Structure 1
Amino acid sequence: MAPKRSNKDKGLTSMYKCLETGAFSDLIITCGNKTWNAHRVVVCPKSSFFRAACNGNFKEAATGVINLEDDNPLVVKLMMEYFYKDWYTIGKLPAGSPSTLSVHIQVHRLGDKYGIEELCDLADGLYCKYLRREASFEEYVASIPEVYQPPVSEHLRQSATNHARELMGKNFFTDEWRTILKRVMKEIPEFCFDVIEAVFTAPIPILCEECRDEQINIGMDSCHVCGVILE
């Protein structure tokens, strides 16, 4: 038996259908070759930028058309999905698109640009979730310079540095990975400082070869699970 949907879920679905069909639209948002027939009552409460554009003495308020010509249509599409669903899903990216981690970072920056604080928080959380569960080491490393481009998100920064700290304690952390991370730390001193700070705050867990427990910190004399003496 399918779970019952809440009234909020039903309402969000109905609003998204209005976006897809253009029913009752009173605001047109364009980006590149994409056009969304949107609704001020949905968009404006969530964004200080759109609220000001629609209520102030701007041409957009009179014409009902806002052109986001400097933005990435893919990222704007995710922003529009968030407006109507309180969520966004990246799905399978077209060939030549940025990585999934990069898209989450770009969504955060778009949310910051247009005064959508909740979208920034959502993008930060999804970046962290994807980083821990699905991202390859190569994708992670490629995202670090983008994380540290201003304006910097403290949440993204913390996720990137904590992931480095956790990787260092894994038995599959190779010498090649160590060399690559050292290079990135040299290129981005702020990242290096953050990783050192993260290690001092929460020491790197190491693996007990006897019982395979990972909750052992550098500096411990013996494994607290099996009691084996650590070298």
Structure 2
Amino acid sequence: MPPSAVDEKVADTPSTLGGELLKSGLFADAKIKCGSREWNVHKCIIGLKSSYFKKAFTGNFQEAQTNELCLDHELPLEVDCVLKYLYLGKLDSGAISACQKTTCCAGKLSLYLSLFKFADCLDVPTLKEELLTSVDDLLMRLATEIVSHEEKFYIEPEKYFSAERFEDFARAVRTVYSLPLHCVDSIIKPLHKFFLSTRFAVVKDARFKSLMNEIPKMAIDMVNLMLPSGTRQCVVTMHPKVCKECREPSSTYSDIQVMEHGSRSWKSGMTSCEISGRCPSCWEKQQMAKQAK
């Protein structure tokens, strides 16, 4: 057969071929149902990446006999997201956008955490890791915005933490504190990092206070972050730095306030330009201006 006659599909990447298999259902040997939707799937693909599917289709369960699995307690669009991940090896932007258009998953933060919870149920560790990274990134972006307008945030928190974004954040927090204990430790870290990075500025927001009343465990966690156990009490604050002159992201630094026997000391690894609140470029310009005088 001449090379020109070879189907171009042979050169497709594994992720492309995986997507085509899920879309066409070619060679499928099982079916997954959720609500009004159905997916023709391949046990060798989903079973290798999810121990839940592996046990369902190979154990002494009804699903192993009928080759059909119903996930009626899940959202069809989230099932679609996870199945596409299993076939593509990455989150599908189209599936994510489709989820965001629904009323229950309008924001990415709450959507990613809802998918994290579902991925934990299906035991897909690689998806959990990818979602964890995405959650951390979204929270740090939000923290940077809040800290860069910190003084104004205290006066008008709604301006820098819109109702839509706060509702997304609130749904995400509710999901975090509803997760099983075995996966809380990993997913709680980005949230704690967010609180530290904002220097707990969010507690000035009345909406956040209401959320703490709703979720007492979160309030306890915040107190523990501010006052660790032991004779030495300290607050470690991570600042996502934004230059106060050019408003561009600069470096990230941390400071430690230590209280021991009633006295308070301050330690920091900051350079002089970081202490001034300016990026190295703006700090250098400031120093040159001073010398010129």
TM-score, normalized by length of structure 2?
Answer: 0.63
How far does residue 162 in structure 1 lie from its aligned partner after superposition? Answer: 1.2
Cross-structure match for 1:91: 97
SS in 2 for 1:202: strand
Tell me the equivalent position of 1:33: 36
Shift of 1:134: 6.4
* Greater Cα radius of gyration, structure 1 or 2: 2
Local SS of the residue matching 1:30: strand
Give the Å deviation of 1:60: 1.4
For 1:134 and 1:77, the matched residues in 2 are separated by 28
Is residue 22 from structure 1 mapped to residue 22 from structure 2 by the alignment?
Answer: no
Return the alpha-carbon distance in structure 2 between the equivalents of residues 84 and 143 of structure 1.
26
Segment of structure 1 superposing worse, 51-60 or 34-43: 51-60
Query: Is contact 1:46–1:83 with CA below 8 Å preserved after alignment?
Result: yes
Which SS does the other structure have where 1:76 is aligned?
helix
- State the match for 2:7 in structure 1: none
Q: Would you say 1:79 and 2:82 are equivalent positions? A: yes
2: CA distance, partners of 1:209 / 1:124: 30
Runs of at least 5 residues in structure 1 that lack an aligned partner in the other structure: 1-6
- Residues of 2 paired with 1:88 and 1:174: CA distance? 31
- Supply the distance in 2 between the matched residues of 1:94 and 1:193 (Cα, whole angstroms): 34
1:159 is matched with 190
- Answer whether contact 1:31 1:71 (CA < 8 A) is retained: yes
Higher strand share: 2
- Secondary structure, aligned partner of 1:112: helix
Counterpart of 1:3? none
The alignment-based identity, stated in percent, is: 24
Distance 2:209 2:173 in 1: 13
Partner Cα separation in structure 2 for residue 18 and residue 46 of structure 1: 16
The one-letter amino acid of 1:154's match is D
The reply on whether 1:195 has 2:222 as its aligned counterpart is: yes
Verify: 1:185 aligned to 2:216, yes or no.
Answer: no
1:69 partner SS? coil
- C-alpha distance in structure 2 between counterparts of 1:174 and 1:23, whole Å: 51
Provide the C-alpha distance between the structure 1 equivalents of 2:254 and 2:110, rounded to a whole number of angstroms: 33
Query: 1:60 is matched with which residue: 63, 66, 76?
Result: 63
Aligned mates of 2:81, 2:235 — CA distance in 1: 35
Asked if the contact 1:208–1:216 (Cα under 8 Å) also holds between the matched residues in 2, the reply is no
Shift of 1:208: 9.0
Cα distance change, pair 208–215 in 1 and its aligned pair in 2 (3 A): farther
Counterpart CA distance in 2 for 1:164 and 1:68 is 35
| Contact 1:27–1:40 under 8 Å retained in 2 | yes
Supply the AA of the counterpart residue of 1:190. K
CA RMSD, 1 decimal: 3.4
Unaligned runs of 5+ in 2: 1-9, 144-160, 227-233, 258-265, 277-293
1:168 to 183, 192, 199: 199
| 2:110 equivalent to 1:102 | yes
With over 3 angstroms needed to count, the CA separation of the structure-2 counterparts of 1:224 and 1:115, relative to structure 1, is closer
Q: d(CA) in 2 for partners of 1:201 and 1:44?
A: 46
